[in-house]
Structure formats: C-alpha cells, structure tokens
C-alpha cells in the first residue's frame, strides 16, 4: 500500500459544536416540561446535533497518487467521471459520479482551509472527470496539443503527379524601397530625354 499524499480528518471544532448542540437539546427539553413552546428549540438543537454527529462519523479521507480512500473504501481516480461541487464548502459536500453511473456523496467536516485543500486535491487528481461540467484541461486552463496529423502539412492529389504537399502561397516582397523606385524612375526619364536629343542632333547633321 502506497503512502498517502495527504490525510484529512474531521476538525475538532465540529466536535465542540456537536457537544454544544447536545447541551442545547437537553436544556431545551428540560425547559419544555414547564414551557411547551421551548420544544421547538429542542427540535432545532436536536436536528443540528444529529447533522454534526453524522459529519463526525464520516471516515478519514486519504489522497493517494492512484486512488482516493474513504475509510476502507478505495476509489481509483480513473473511475471518477464527474466531480460536482455544491454550495457547501465548510463543511465540504461534493458529488462524485463513478463508472456505471454510480454516485458517491463525499462529506468532510473540516474548516475552510482544509476543505479548500481537499477540494483542490480532488480536482487535480480526477484527470478523467468533468469538473462541474467542464473538461479537466479546460477547467485547469491547460492548452490541448494538436494531434500530429493536424501539425503535418496537408497533401493534395493531382492526376499527373499523385499526392503532393500543399505549398503555402508565395509572398511577393518588394526588392526596393519606394524612394529608391522613384529615383530609378527619374533616371530612366532622363536617359530617355537624352536619347531624344541625340536623335535630333543626328537629324540636323545629316540635313
């Protein structure tokens, strides 16, 4: 058995809360013998103490590299297909959907820091799961690499030469700057004017 990466036990605060709720239940029930209206408070204290005891009854949670352990139960990370949060963070309540549509309700009676740490471990190791309906890589902001076939250049088929690599369109880049082109144009015009003058001089000499 591999050593756990992290362990999460119930917080001692919930033990204190449960004791206070039990004391409130007993006191409200005792006063209810004289004032029946206090039975409402006794019922509220009783439900609160029952909920806290149910949280404290949850087994220790262990995070391993290959699996999640809830007491004696072992859940492989690859079996988790969905991880959905609820509105409860401290205590932490999370829905896990396993293969074959099995559902597990994970309860953890921890403070805010430990509950946040457990939730982060659950989200990090559930690599095959949808995290609140979002794919794992997208939820963690990771960029998916394109397959090799998408990276390779496309091939096009021609009846003469068979499949060929599709070349990117040629990009025509100017060899000269605009001011250099203007200077060459002016020189060309001067040469043409000089040629015309030579032709006139030759014509006048022959006459």
pTM to 2 decimal places: 0.57
Across 66-84, average pLDDT: 92
Segments making up each domain of the chain, as ranges: 9-57, 64-142
Assess whether the previous peptide bond of 91 is cis (omega < 30° from 0).
yes
The pLDDT tens digits of the residues spanning 18-60 come to 777 778 778 777 787 777 777 777 777 778 777 777 777 778 8
Assign 71 to helix, strand or coil: coil
Tell me the per-residue pLDDT of 49-68, one tens digit each, with 9 for 90 and over: 777 777 777 788 999 999 99
Hey, how many other C-beta atoms are within 10 angstroms of the C-beta on 117?
Answer: 15
Backbone phi, psi, residue 103, to 5°: -120, 140
Average pLDDT over residues 190-201: 64
Decide: helix, strand or coil at residue 156: strand
Which pLDDT score, from 0 to 100, does residue 176 have?
A: 54
- Can you give the C-alpha Rg of the chain in angstroms? 40
Q: Quick count: other Cβ atoms within 10 Å of Cβ 74?
A: 14
Give the three-state DSSP class for 167: coil
What average pLDDT does range 146-161 have in this prediction? Answer: 54
Least confident of 22-36, 106-120, 159-173: 159-173
Strand order in the sheet with 67-70: 6-8, 61-63, 67-70, 73-76
Amino acid 183: pLDDT: 73
pLDDT tens for residues 127-151? 999 999 999 888 888 755 555 555 5
pLDDT at 177: 59
Tokens 């794919």 belong to 135
Structural contact between residues 59 and 72, judged by C-beta atoms closer than 8 angstroms: yes
């Amino acid at each position: 058995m591999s050593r756990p990466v992290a362990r999460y036990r119930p917080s001692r605060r919930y033990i204190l809360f449960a004791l206070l709720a039990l004391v409130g239940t007993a006191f409200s029930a005792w006063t209810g013998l004289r004032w029946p209206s206090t039975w409402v408070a006794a019922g509220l204290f009783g439900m609160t103490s029952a909920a806290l005891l149910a949280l404290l009854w949850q087994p220790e949670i262990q995070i391993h590299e290959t699996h999640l352990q809830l007491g004696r139960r072992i859940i492989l990370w690859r079996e988790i297909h969905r991880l959905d949060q609820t509105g409860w963070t401290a205590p932490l309540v999370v829905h896990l959907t396993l293969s074959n549509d099995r559902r597990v309700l994970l309860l953890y009676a921890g403070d805010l820091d430990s509950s946040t740490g457990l939730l982060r471990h659950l989200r990090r190791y559930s690599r095959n799961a949808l995290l609140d309906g979002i794919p794992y890589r997208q939820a963690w902001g990771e960029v998916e690499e394109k397959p090799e076939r998408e990276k390779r250049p496309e091939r096009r088929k021609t009846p003469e030469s068979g499949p060929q690599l599709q070349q990117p369109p040629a990009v025509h880049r100017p060899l000269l700057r605009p001011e250099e082109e203007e200077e060459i144009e002016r020189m060309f015009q001067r040469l043409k004017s000089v040629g015309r003058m030579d032709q006139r001089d030759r014509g006048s000499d022959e006459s």
